[in-house]
Amino acid sequence: MNIIDEAGLLALATRLQRLSERMRKDGEDIYKAMGIHFQPKWFPVIYVLLHRNTLSVVEIAGEIGYSHPSTITLLKELEKEKLIRSGKDKADERKRLLQLSAKGRKLVTQMEPVWDIITAATIDLIDTQHNLMRAIEEVEERFRLQSFLQRALSLIKAHKEDDATGS
Amino acid sequence: MNIIDEAGLLALATRLQRLSERMRKDGEDIYKAMGIHFQPKWFPVIYVLLHRNTLSVVEIAGEIGYSHPSTITLLKELEKEKLIRSGKDKADERKRLLQLSAKGRKLVTQMEPVWDIITAATIDLIDTQHNLMRAIEEVEERFRLQSFLQRALSLIKAHKEDDATGS
DNA sequence: TTTATTTATGTAGTTAACTACGTAAATTTG
DNA sequence: CAAATTTACGTAGTTAACTACATAAATAAA
């Protein structure tokens, strides 16, 4: 038990990050062990293009929840790997439309059994009493209703009103 | 519902990271709203020095679960802010011993009510059916028993053995 | 008691995200 | 329809973590 575990709720962000990093690093090793040249950070882009077929840069960024410059960096890497291809939108000259390439689609079919294993291993890891996936979904839902900041500010306000009443 | 939410378990690492970033950013704004010049990333170091009093660089790194170079960077910032001070260990010339400064201890007393608010806001956010804190504790415990990679490799092995038996 | 190994700290360079800003195309408004 | 605004994309620079390597002190081994 280190101090971050002891600090509990105050260090929650740190612990979430640590867990995320560990999973991503292991993810990388799983692909490697299966002889597949693929980085976990590419997954969101590949997955969205698999399911939505053709999207612009900003649309992809929106779907994966990243800023558009970060998305552009990922797209550059994926084009270099020839897993995706891009072309101008004829209807709107500002837009660049992205798709999986033949190589990309082929890699996806190779990865699908690996994705099944990753999913199974994830279930093996997180299917505890307080299921992590459910917990995240529930917290994201609460975030949608009111941000962490707003919750804190409400508490501060309530605290100040208590003081005023008590004097 | 974006594609990352739909991808579910495969994109768990991405979602953990996103949640962590949102909480950290809001944390920064909470300190700001309370007129306290403090960055959430400093918390682990300050908290460990508050509770362990005097520690070396590597000891701090171990406690907060960061690499020692990352820790050194944090320590430099905190020394610049004059929240901590350091001196050589007389018994071991290699070691640099860190402590909270008077200014650091004073800031801690100012922050303690804010920490209470952050804790309360966190409870408000995560106290759902599948409590996130419990979920993380349970997953970390499982990680200790067997890594994500090892779990996946076991599944791959089991899968291959099935194939062999089936032929 | 030299020599080899380990431990503690530090530096340099990398990575993967970000924000801020700039340009060009499309759209809306006066 | 000309001007202003918005949208889409891109570049530059920042940040907060990391790994790899270097050096010096302490400890262990020959």
- Could you tell me if residue B157 is inside a domain? no
Q: What Å value separates CA B90 and C1' C20?
A: 48
What confidence score (pLDDT) does residue A10 get?
Answer: 85
Distance (Å, whole) CA A17 – CA A8: 14
- Could you tell me if residue B83 is inside a domain? yes
What confidence score (pLDDT) does residue B11 get?
Answer: 85
- In this complex, the answer to whether residue B63 has its CB under 7 A from any atom of chain C, a nucleic strand, is no
For residue B29, give its domain range. 3-101
Total tally of structural domains belonging to chain A: 1
pLDDT in tens, B38-66: 999 999 999 999 999 999 999 999 999 99
In sequence order, which ranges of B92-166 are alpha helices (DSSP H)?
A: 102-126, 132-145, 148-166
- Could you tell me if residue B127 is inside a domain? no
Give A13's contacts in chain B (Cβ within 8 Å).
20-21, 23-24, 27, 40
- Could you tell me if residue A143 is inside a domain? no
pLDDT in tens, B104-159: 999 999 999 999 999 999 998 889 988 899 899 899 888 888 888 889 988 888 87
- Could you tell me if residue A49 is inside a domain? yes
- Could you tell me if residue B21 is inside a domain? yes
- Could you tell me if residue B129 is inside a domain? no
Question: Over the range B145-155, which residues count as b (16 or more CB within 10 Å of their CB) and which as e?
Answer: eebbbebbbeb
Contact B130 A130 (CB under 8 A): yes
CATH number at residue A110: 1.10.10.10
Kindly indicate the confidence band of residue B83, based on its pLDDT and cuts at 50, 70 and 90.
very high
- Could you tell me if residue A145 is inside a domain? no
Q: Residues B55, A20, A74, CA angle at the centre, nearest 5°?
A: 120
Distance (Å, whole) CA B61 – CA B43: 13
Q: Of A23-27, B5-9, B48-52, which gets the smallest average pLDDT?
A: B5-9
Contact A142 B128 (CB under 8 A): yes
The percent of chain B in helix, strand and coil, each rounded to the nearest 5, is 75, 5, 20
